[in-house]
């Protein structure tokens, strides 16, 4: 088992939409031999959209189980890659996915630099001190100077950078990169989509061959910039990287396969394997003999022929064995998983065993919820899978009173899947909270087609939901009584305060010092 653990790496790719995340995912699979031709990821998404009877916006976005978890083997290392949704309307799914990884790869568009969604996702990684590598993409397009991009990462993300390669030019004049790690000049061939770029070993930048290969002007600029960079930025420190304080930076072009090999080589050497996880009673180590794991994502198959759900389980410790009985901690019952699946690139396959770091899919009939823990018998739960405060709220108005039961059941199940959060006002009315407008369309469609319940959503003027906590029960009850129009309960019957403006929330926090206003459900 020690060997199996040492051979595993589990990471997620994070980026703002259109930074090149899907393209890089595809090229990583291509280098790992998991797919044979570029375009397979997108092609698979398109075919899935055509065959599964789901709404048009889902097909356009390409959101599917097939691209959520992908496994491949590179140089003897089993890599589990979690592809996260880039669109901000589905970022809560990304937040939860990041709880299941041991490290992350941040992709930045060289022409746009650090964007808003990149900042939000990095904050989630920072909550868990997740090690992060950075890939600055699209260097073959006109963009910002490399030094400006590094300064932007440091200023906006408050993170130290350590460039491990340096670009020679950018846009149409991009000629390649110089690798500090390998002391090698890696040359770029535009439009070649090279699998093995030409490279020349250059131990010293004073080597006159550099002038002959890239030209005197570019060679002198490279020497000048490298001298500046090595003097300003720190050298790579493995411990600081593991603590999430420093990020190694690579430059390249995913579309042209350029820079992908360097990322993979560095990743399997330096990225952490399966790490220990904090549970409610103790810290669980990956090399323990007792099995444990947690559900971080649930995906319902919308195909009418297969109305099942798949729960994604991250294995934390021990060995998962097919058909073995495990304790479902929340219910206290033992369950048996007869058909666990592993995701190898786009293909699902039944597996017999899985090890710490692996992501497996369990067929679910409604047993699992996000955050549930499975063990061999020990009763504890894993921490770190919060529900974040929604930013958009709407009343759910039932259009068919005869289908009230179906509507409530549908909302509860969608809430369990993490599609949205459902709050119940004191007068019994249901409020749906999401992080994006697109989710309301998804919910409306699914309620109609899966549960036969029609509804409409009426706009509400709330901007934030805060979970309330206090050691003074009388003070909490008094606060709830005086603000009944802004108080709801979540799925676990906890009080939630719905703020109408940022100013009013700040005022309530200031005036009610005995109450704690939490912006995530995990406290």
- Please give, one letter per residue, the 3-state secondary structure of 47-64: HHHHHCCCCHHHHHHCCC
* Per-residue confidence (pLDDT) for residue 2, from 0 to 100: 86
Angle at 144 between CA 138 and CA 146, to 5 degrees: 85
Stronger pLDDT, 132 or 298, i.e. the higher one? 132
Nearest to 205 by CA among 218, 189, 190, 188: 218
255-280 residue pLDDT tens: 888 888 888 889 999 999 999 988 88
Domains for the chain: give ranges and CATH numbers.
2-270 (3.40.50.300), 277-375 (3.40.50.300), 392-518 (3.30.70.3280)
Q: CA torsion, points 156, 157, 161, 165, in degrees to nearest 10?
A: -80
Using the 8-state DSSP alphabet, how is residue 402 labeled?
Answer: G
**Would you state the structure tokens that stand for residue 81, as one six-digit string?**
């890659």
Burial 453-470 (b: 16+ CB within 10 A, else e): bebebeeeebbbbbbbee
* Per-residue confidence (pLDDT) for residue 100, from 0 to 100: 87
Angle at 30 between CA 29 and CA 36, to 5 degrees: 115
Instruction: Give the residue-averaged pLDDT of 153-160.
Output: 90
The residue assigned the tokens 């990322």 is 263
Reported as half-sphere exposure (CB side, CA atoms, 13 A), residue 427 has a value of 7
Secondary structure element (H or E) that encloses residue 69, with its range: strand 69-74
Reported as half-sphere exposure (CB side, CA atoms, 13 A), residue 239 has a value of 0
* Contact status, residue 261 vs residue 346, Cβ threshold 8 Å: no
Distance between CA atoms of 256 and 261, rounded to whole angstroms?
A: 12
Using the 8-state DSSP alphabet, how is residue 121 labeled?
Answer: H
Q: How far is CA 193 from CA 30, 198, 199, in A?
A: 12, 12, 15
Stronger pLDDT, 474 or 70, i.e. the higher one? 474
pLDDT grade, residue 163 (50/70/90)?
very high
Instruction: Give the residue-averaged pLDDT of 334-343.
Output: 84
> What pTM was estimated for this model as a whole?
0.78
360-412 residue pLDDT tens: 888 887 788 888 899 998 888 887 666 677 888 999 999 999 999 999 888 88
* Per-residue confidence (pLDDT) for residue 303, from 0 to 100: 47
């Amino acid at each position: 088992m020690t060997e199996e653990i040492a051979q595993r790496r589990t990471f997620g790719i994070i980026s703002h939409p259109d930074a090149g995340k899907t393209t890089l995912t595809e090229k990583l699979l291509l280098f790992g031999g998991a797919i044979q031709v570029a375009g397979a990821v997108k092609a698979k998404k398109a075919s899935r959209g055509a065959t599964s009877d789901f709404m048009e916006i889902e097909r356009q976005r390409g959101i599917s189980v097939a691209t959520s978890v992908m496994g491949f083997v590179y140089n003897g290392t089993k890599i589990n890659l979690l592809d996260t949704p880039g669109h901000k309307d589905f970022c809560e799914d990304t937040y939860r996915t990041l709880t299941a990884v041991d490290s992350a790869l941040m992709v930045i568009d060289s022409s746009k630099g650090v964007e808003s969604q990149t900042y939000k996702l990095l904050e989630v990684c920072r909550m868990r001190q997740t090690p992060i590598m950075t890939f600055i993409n699209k260097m073959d397009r006109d963009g910002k100077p490399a030094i400006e991009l590094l300064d932007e990462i440091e200023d906006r993300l408050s993170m130290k950078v350590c460039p491990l390669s340096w670009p020679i030019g950018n846009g149409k004049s991009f000629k390649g990169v110089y690798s500090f790690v390998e002391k090698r000049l890696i040359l770029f061939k535009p439009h070649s989509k090279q699998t093995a770029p030409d490279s020349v070993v250059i131990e010293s930048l004073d080597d006159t061959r550099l002038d002959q290969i890239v030209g005197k002007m570019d060679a002198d600029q490279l020497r000048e910039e490298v001298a500046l960079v090595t003097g300003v930025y720190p050298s790579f420190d493995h411990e600081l990287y593991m603590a999430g304080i420093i990020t190694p930076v690579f430059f390249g072009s995913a579309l042209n396969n350029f820079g992908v090999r360097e990322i993979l080589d560095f990743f399997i050497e330096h990225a952490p394997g399966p790490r220990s996880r904090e549970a409610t009673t103790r810290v669980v180590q990956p090399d323990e003999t007792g099995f444990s794991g947690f559900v971080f994502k649930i995906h319902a198959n919308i195909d009418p022929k297969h109305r099942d759900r798949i729960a994604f389980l991250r294995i934390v410790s021990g060995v998962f064995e097919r058909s073995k009985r495990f304790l479902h901690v929340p219910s206290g019952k033992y369950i048996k998983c007869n058909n666990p699946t592993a995701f190898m690139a786009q293909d699902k396959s039944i597996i017999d065993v899985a090890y710490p770091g692996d992501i497996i899919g369990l067929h679910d009939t409604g047993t699992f919820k996000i955050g549930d823990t499975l063990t061999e018998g020990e009763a504890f739960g894993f921490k770190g899978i919060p529900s974040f405060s929604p930013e958009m709220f709407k009343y759910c108005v039932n259009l068919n009173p005869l289908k009230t039961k179906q509507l409530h059941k549908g909302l509860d199940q969608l809430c369990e899947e993490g599609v949205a959060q459902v709050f119940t006002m004191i007068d019994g009315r249901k409020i749906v909270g999401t992080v994006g407008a697109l989710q309301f369309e998804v919910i409306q469609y699914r309620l109609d087609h899966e549960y036969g319940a029609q509804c409409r959503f009426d706009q509400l003027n709330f901007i934030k939901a805060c979970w309330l906590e206090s050691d003074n029960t009388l003070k909490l009850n008094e606060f709830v009584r005086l603000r009944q129009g802004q108080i709801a309960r979540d799925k676990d019957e906890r009080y939630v305060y719905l703020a109408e403006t940022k100013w009013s929330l700040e005022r309530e926090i200031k005036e009610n010092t005995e109450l704690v206003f939490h912006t995530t459900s995990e406290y």
